[in-house]
Amino acid sequence: MRLTVQTFLTLDGVMQAPGGPEEDPSDGFAHGGWQAPFRGPESSEFVTEFNSHASAFLLGRKTFDIFRGYWPDQTDPANAIARAINSLPKYV
């Protein structure tokens, strides 16, 4: 078995809430969505390619809760990221 990690991380070590300001404001975190303004098509291409090699996802509880509230509603068959996330097993 091989475990490969994909994480979004700032140079100073922030991993919390890269996607949106409402994503995880716990403990007064006010910088949610820090990654979103910098995403371009290359980011989606990388994630799509990375996920194409996955056989399952290992998620922390908070990330799983965020995924559970968003990804099941993403059903566009052209969305390769949604296809991978919605079709593969998840372990929390």
In a structure prediction context, what are the per-residue pLDDT tens digits for the chain, which is 92 residues long? Answer: 788 888 888 899 888 888 888 888 888 989 888 888 888 899 889 989 998 899 999 999 988 998 999 999 999 999 999 999 999 999 99
The predicted structure's pLDDT at residue 19: 84
Q: Which candidate, 69, 17, 77, 19, places its Cα nearest to that of 43?
A: 19
The predicted structure's pLDDT at residue 6: 87
